[in-house]
Structure 1
Amino acid sequence: MPVEFLTDDQAEAYGKFAEEPTRPELERFFFFLDDIDRDLIALRRTKHHQLGFALQMCTVRYVGLFLEDPLVVPWPVVEHLAVQLGVEDPSCVKRYTERRQTLYDHAWEIRDAYGYHPYDYPEWGRKFRTFLHGRARRIRFHDLRHSTATLLLEQGVELVVIKELLGHAHIGVTATVYAHVRIRLQRDAIDLLGHALGCP
């Protein structure tokens, strides 16, 4: 999958655990095992296969792809899944990677069960682009100018500088067009002043 649109740091972190998942991510979202998950996991014979399968299942939800080494995860993730599965010794998961083919077989089974598709497959890439196209609004060049001016104002750039960048003949035009942004910034400034003075 191309990652040219990412910064170097983002590209380096892509497909990895950049940090330990938060408690809500562990308990409610990516690492919570529902009944469907548990039924699929229960088809594994050994505890280390059950825990490893669950680890791959939840990691692909969180990271967005299957890891080359499914054990390269923060240890609290393994422990959290082990508790849900009633696995008393989470370190048994280290045996999961003894047979590489098992990892690939499990990854394909998870893909099939949940309908995951790599977007570097031409057919699914096309479907994804179609999906995005149907939801993205068209943006005109003028919209980009307006967004740029708004962002610059919000960053504290002086109105006269924005006027010159946009090519407005008079600062009154710029002030009128972006009055809504200036009013919001003025309210924020008043709130900051109130906070600094200890007003509720």
Structure 2
Amino acid sequence: MKIARGRELLTLEQRQDFMQIPEDELILGTYFTFSKRDLEIVNKRRREENRLGFAVQLAVLRYPGWPYTHIKSIPESVIHYISKQIGATPSSISLYPQRENTLWDHLKELRSEYDFVTFTLREYRIAFKHLHQLAFENGDAIHLLHECIDFLRKNKIILPAITTLITSYSRVNG
């Protein structure tokens, strides 16, 4: 693995690792299994691709925590796992979203239904305070980024771009 130079905290490979969706069964079962309530909300959508897209958005907000638009690729096994639960054809995800507004409307509804919060200055300050305390115990960059992501996820704060998280960390540890 290549080591980051200068102010670069993570290599490109490390950044991708943070945003990658694991395919193991524990993660699938823990974060991507829908409750009865989830299914009722998902099934409000008429079109198959919108049901699947909405369900995938919900899943990736839960884990790894980034919005659908930030995720570069979602493993086929994850799409299959989700589509099986909602009775959709996995390939219908390629049709989502046909309208960009659909994607944003779904995100807005997910925030409302599940109390997800957008990362703003307020959330930045909360996370900074949390990380600042942890940095005294363990100042390792990777450890603190994991802690930051876990903290935001537990508090239902939608993760910002990875570069924003890295900037937040560098201010804590810098």
TM-score under structure 2 normalisation? 0.63
How far did 1:112 drift? Answer: 2.1
Measured in 1, the distance between the counterparts of 2:96 and 2:134 equals: 46
Measured in 2, the distance between the counterparts of 1:36 and 1:52 equals: 17
Matched, 1:64 2:65: yes
How far did 1:97 drift? Answer: 2.2
**Distance change >3 Å, CA 6–CA 118, structure 1 → 2:** farther
User: Which structure's CA Rg is the greater one?
Assistant: 1
**Partner SS state of residue 126, structure 1:** helix
Tell me the matched-pair count.
131
Unmatched runs of 5 consecutive residues or more in structure 2: 1-6, 139-174
Q: Which residue of 1 aligns with 2:39?
A: 38
Contact 1:16 1:67 in 2 (8 A): no
Deviations 1:69-128 (A, max 9, x none): 7682101111111111122x2212211122111111111211222222233x11222233
**Partner SS state of residue 97, structure 1:** coil
Instruction: Show structure 1 runs of 4+ deviating over 4 A.
Output: 135-139
Q: Which residue of 2 aligns with 1:123?
A: 122
Contact 2:50 2:97 in 1 (8 A): no
**Distance change >3 Å, CA 138–CA 91, structure 1 → 2:** closer
Measured in 2, the distance between the counterparts of 1:111 and 1:38 equals: 16
Q: State the percentage of identical aligned residues.
A: 24
Superposed CA RMSD = 2.8
Matched, 1:15 2:15: no
Contact 2:19 2:71 in 1 (8 A): no
Contact 1:52 1:70 in 2 (8 A): no
**Distance change >3 Å, CA 69–CA 100, structure 1 → 2:** farther
Unmatched runs of 5 consecutive residues or more in structure 1: 145-200
Taking CA–CA contacts closer than 8 Å with sequence separation of 6 or more, which of the two structures ends up with the larger relative contact order? 2
TM-score under structure 1 normalisation? 0.56
Letter in 1 for 2:25: R
Measured in 2, the distance between the counterparts of 1:30 and 1:66 equals: 15
Q: Which residue of 2 aligns with 1:99?
A: 99
